[in-house]
Chains A and B, each alone.
Chain A
Amino acid sequence: MHAALRAILRPLPLAVPSLWLALLVAAPLLVVLVLAFAWPAESVPPIAPPWGAEGPNTEPFALVLEDSFYHAAFAQAALVAAGTAALCLLLGFPMAMGLARARPAWRLPLLMAVLLPFWTGFLPRLGAWIGLLRDEGWVNTVLQSLGLITDPLPLLYSWPALFLGMAHAYLPFAVLPLYASLSRRDPAMEEAAADLGATPWAVFRTVTLPLAAPGAAAAFLLVFIPAAGEYVIPELLGPPGAQLVGRVLWQEFFQNRDWPVAAALAVLLLLALLLPILLFQRLEARR
């Protein structure tokens, strides 16, 4: 190859992705931090930069840090994310155990059976839950025709509906890492414990669970991190009182058109998630 051409081409494999990451990953995060100090304005876009005559605006951060409405938004998001992750572990652990213990020939088809429902698309699956849970929906129709209830139960737009939808959406995030860690360990350990006289519960508690703990911690975080910023599920299935930070950010941006407050919320959400993200990376690095 011509030397000059080589001098041009050689740095490209590093330069192109670096440029992309700088422009579309690093720059947006810097911009959101800077514009959290911008001023709301009656213009298009509805924002006046923080480097104008007025200087930076500390109001958005002050508001979000002081107003109890925003505190509640973060607290709710943390509770919903933790609850969802716990639900997914509870449901996903026996599933992963079943997968790990299945005959090898059955494992791939069963794994496919776990993943296949997700190919209907995220929104149509939520639509299915709406159709199941609404007043004239499938669950209420069945209960009414069995004579168990006379008036439809208000199932949709409730906390249980919210958690049901969240667990359904995030369950594979828990099953896959649990399965990965359970299928790696040696079943002889449990057999040894059983041979030495341990009851099934004692085997589970003293052998299976401790061995699976790092995988379970990874699974918990893998659900917790994306669930904490969730907007769509609380909006479509949750009660009006479910004002999670993702939903509040959306409303500040789209309904109130208060871009600086939305940006401040984004920065704080990111900071709040930094600890679980770092924890997750340490867990992954150790495995």
Chain B
Amino acid sequence: MSRGTGQGGMARLGLMLGLGFLWLPVLLLAGYAFSGSRIPFQWGGFSLRWFAALAENERLLEAAWLSLRVALGSATLAVLLGGATGWVLARRGPFRGRALFGVLAGAPLVLPDVVMGLSLLLLFVLLEGATGWPAGRGATTILLAHATIGAAYVAVLAQARLAEMAPELEEAARDLGAGPATAFATVTLPLMAPSLAAGWLLAFTLSLDDVVVASFVSGPAGTTLPMVVFSMLRLGLTPEVNALAVIILALAGLGGGLALLAMRGLRSL
């Protein structure tokens, strides 16, 4: 506690102001999603019309379905790849090219979205020209791009988690006669599990939120939900976006609850 330094009150005020700034647009958005008015952010009585309009918007529903599939697939792939990458960085010991491996593993975290999107697109175009694969761009290319970005986040979490854990745990298992695969499955993997769960959720969220990378690596066949929302916002907001945000918030709250449970598990282990 900071009794007597006189900073406590200022800090509390700052925290309240900052939280107000963060929450104001979100609360207004959530409230006005239930407004019957055609003009966004003007109250027109309680109504669920924008949720109904959402349910009838074929283009949006189709995009949401695509986004969901891409997010599920890319998050799962990201956990497999990022988990392996994190394990290599924390446990594999020295090998030739380790420094380069580390730089490449962390690169997607710091590369701007426009650079990531453009460079992946150019690779896919070049690959298609040379080998015929990937034939056109859409769900597959978005999935690969999102998995690459997600894997970098999973790798950081998994590496940090393993760095906290004594390697002696695995060595003990080996000394007691477990093979490398058994030691990994019964000791290392359960130790990594909470970070992999948190990483999966993070990769899933990043995929559902991304508009820039997806716009670059997508083709006419692949329009994700953020791409639809972005074009709606560009044309001027429709209140449907507010209703959509309320649904996302509710779903994310559910996911956040799960993440919190995963963090609890992380601490209790």
Contact = CB atoms under 8 A, between A and B. Distances in A.
A204 B23 contact: no
Which of A191, A228, A229 gathers the greatest number of chain B CB atoms within 10 Å? A229
Contact of A246 (B2, B23, B114, B151): B114
Interface in B107-147: 107-108, 110-116, 118-120, 122-123, 125-126, 129, 144-145
A3 interface: no
B22 A117 contact: yes
B21 A91 contact: yes
Most buried by A among B105, B112, B123, B246: B112
B209 interface: yes
B242 A131 contact: yes
Contacts of B3: 191
Interface string A144-179: 000000000000000000000001100100010000
B101 interface: yes
A35 interface: yes
Given A124-B244, A190-B5, A110 B15 contact: yes
The contact size tier of chain B is: 35 or more
Given A119-B248, A123-B230, A168 B114 contact: no
A124 B29 contact: yes
A93 B145 CA distance: 35
A31 interface: yes
Contacts of A80: none
Given A123-B211, A168-B22, A266-B119, A25 B108 contact: yes
Given A13-B87, A194-B6, A231-B212, A28 B15 contact: no
Nearest to B180: A10
A175 B253 CA distance: 21
A168 B107 contact: no
A59 interface: no
Contacts of B265: none
Given A45-B125, A94-B11, A132-B28, A1 B237 contact: no
Contact of B7 (A120, A130, A134, A203): A203
Interface string A239-277: 000000010011001100001001100100110010001
B40 interface: yes
Interface in B1-28: 1-8, 10-19, 21-23, 25-26, 28
Contact of A119 (B13, B85, B211, B249): B249
A25 B179 contact: no
A195 B4 contact: yes
Contact of B19 (A114, A128, A167, A273): A114
A171 B7 contact: no
A81 to B, nearest CB: 10
A97 interface: yes
Contacts of B92: 13-14
Given A95-B18, A232-B211, 18 more contacts: A17-B81, A35-B122, A110-B15, A112-B256, A113-B23, A117-B22, A120-B245, A124-B245, A127-B242, A130-B233, A131-B29, A168-B21, A171-B21, A190-B2, A231-B114, A253-B118, A273-B110, A277-B110
12 contacts: A24-B148, A28-B122, A29-B119, A101-B2, A119-B253, A122-B211, A124-B242, A128-B28, A131-B28, A187-B1, A200-B6, A203-B5
Interface of A: 1, 9, 13-14, 16-18, 20-22, 24-29, 31-32, 35, 45, 47, 91-95, 97-102, 110, 112-114, 116-117, 119-132, 134, 136-138, 141, 167-168, 171, 175, 187, 190-191, 193-195, 199-200, 203-204, 208, 225-226, 228-232, 235-236, 246, 249-250, 253-254, 259, 262-263, 266, 269-270, 273, 277, 280
